[in-house]
Amino acid sequence: MNVVGVIPYWLEYQLSSGRDDHKNLKMLGGRYLINYSLSLLQMSACIDHCCLYVSDDKVLQYTDDDFSAELLIRPEFLDANDITIEDIIDEFLQVSDADVIVMLHPNSPFLRLNTLDECIKKVVSGEFDSAFTAYEYKKLSWFDGKPLNYSLLEPTPKLETLKPVIFEQSSLYVFSRQSYLKNRKRVGENPYIKCINHFEGHEINDSEDFEMAELIVNSGMYSAF
């Protein structure tokens, strides 16, 4: 079974926009953000092959000197604003013989190796057709103007008795080719949900997120995997 780790990278958007303050162009702990995800994939003994799926080799300006993943050039039309992640996966599967795809979005530098490997093993074993990282909340939750996990007709429940609400963390998805081709979704019909804490799952999407990540690194709380 061929397990392929892939990072779909959108650096091209930022270079064409002329912005120089985007997260992809900043350094965290002396490294560009992309390298945390590359290192994680390359450390996993569960992955047979790693690649960066990009439309331009300019990304090499931001990778570490020991970069060893395959640089796989994708069609430029995939950089359009209306392109979905499914469009990108469709194209990737045409040029990859992966049986299991480990898709890692490079916004979460603190994801752990054991989390990655656990998700991969759950899919490779056949027990689940997909896996993803998530956050679990036991909070009084509302959706679309109505209580989601409790009733206003009943006494207010204690938080520990609530059914948790699960949010996709949106950085790590593992799925089989077979499952994707059946449903055209990263999340299949029988997913394994790996709940992680907010420290491990911290996502960098804006300047405030980046400042928090710098505090984590500089405080010594974070040590590489």
The pLDDT of residue 15 is above 70? no
Check residue 24 and give its pLDDT: 66
Question: Which pLDDT band, with edges at 50, 70 and 90, does 13 fall under?
Answer: very low
Structural domain for 11, as ranges: 3-132+169-219
164 domain residue, yes or no: no
b/e burial code for range 69-93 (CB count within 10 A of at least 16 → b): beebebeeebbeeeeeeeebbebbe
CATH of the domain at 118: 3.90.550.10
Number of domains within the chain: 1
* pLDDT (tens digit per residue) in 43-69: 999 999 999 999 888 889 999 988 889
Q: Is residue 151 part of a domain?
A: no
Distance of CA 54 to the CA centre of its chain: 16
Is the pLDDT at 135 greater than 60? The verdict is yes
Quote the distance between the C-alpha of residue 213 and its chain's center: 16
Nearest to 103 by CA among 50, 62, 55, 54: 50
Helix then strand then coil, % of the chain, to nearest 5: 35, 25, 40
Query: How long a stretch of residues is the chain?
Result: 225
pLDDT in tens, 149-181: 999 999 999 999 999 999 999 999 999 999 999
Cα distances (Å, whole numbers) of residue 130 to 33, 38, 124, 174, 183: 26, 21, 9, 5, 11
DSSP 141: -
C-beta of residue 195 within 8 angstroms of C-beta of residue 166: yes
Give domain status of residue 205, yes or no: yes
Residue 17: per-residue pLDDT:
46
Q: Please check whether residue 116 is in contact with residue 40, taking contact to mean a CB–CB distance below 8 angstroms.
A: yes
Rounded CA gap, 100 and 122, in Å? Answer: 11
* Contacts for 143 with CB less than 8 Å, ≥ 6 apart: none
137 part of a folded domain: no
Mean pLDDT of the chain: 91
Q: How confident is the model at residue 86 (pLDDT cuts 50, 70, 90)?
A: very high
The reply to whether 154 falls in a domain is: no
pLDDT digits (tens, 9 = 90+) for 102-125: 999 989 999 999 999 999 999 999
Mean pLDDT of the 198-224 span: 86
